[in-house]
Amino acid sequence: MNAWLEEARTKVAADATALRTVFPGVGRRVGRGPSDTPGWTVDDVARVELLKAAPGAAAEMPDLYRYGDAAEKRAVLRGLSVVDIGDAGLALVADALRTNDPRLVTAAMGEYAAEHLDDAAYRHGVLKCVFMGIPLAEVAGLDRRTDGELLRMMRSFAAERTAAGRDVPADLRPLLNEQDA
């Protein structure tokens, strides 16, 4: 592990408020390239490790998100699934789903969203992913959260695309066909 990251983990483990100064510099210290975790960058992994190491991370996460750049926001969203933040993370997910940044929307639709969003908000997030061309494989919990209303919405979307002579996303078809069987 990077020596800087190990030192940063020690700092945030002793005082979660150290996240405020450490979090922004992660990309410069560990890099921003792809990681071994599919869809994640090296700095995503490092930032989530810092969140896990900080006992009081839940209290810091809203401000880390609010004042962070896109990479920091993405890491906070990814960290929602590993830090017990309760329902306080719902506002962060809702904010990310209002953006047009596919990286934030993808991160927002992680396991935290699958566990905490109500049905209407989860459906909204899934459809946002479909509209933005985010692969449905990136949406956590789709296998257990798909319901009749989401299928109806997806069928309507597919019908509108077909009527307009536009392609239906390839990963939408198997889901709709599977549910028709």
Q: Which two tokens stand for residue 95?
A: 């904010």
Output the pLDDT for position 181: 43
Evaluate if residue 179 carries a pLDDT over 90: no
Residue linked to tokens 């408020």: 17
Give tens-digit pLDDT for 24-37: 999 999 999 999 99
pTM, entire model: 0.93
How much is the average pLDDT of 137-147?
Answer: 95
Give tens-digit pLDDT for 86-139: 999 999 999 999 999 999 999 999 999 999 999 999 999 999 999 999 999 999
* Confidence bin at 178 (pLDDT 50/70/90): low
End-to-end CA distance of the chain: 49
Whole-number average pLDDT of the chain: 94
Amino acid at 30: V
Evaluate if residue 74 carries a pLDDT over 80: yes
Q: Of 11, 9, 10, 4, which Cα lies nearest the Cα of 27? A: 4
Q: What percent of the chain has pLDDT over 90?
A: 91
Phi and psi of 138, rounded to 5°? Answer: -80, -10
Across-strand partners of 34? 41
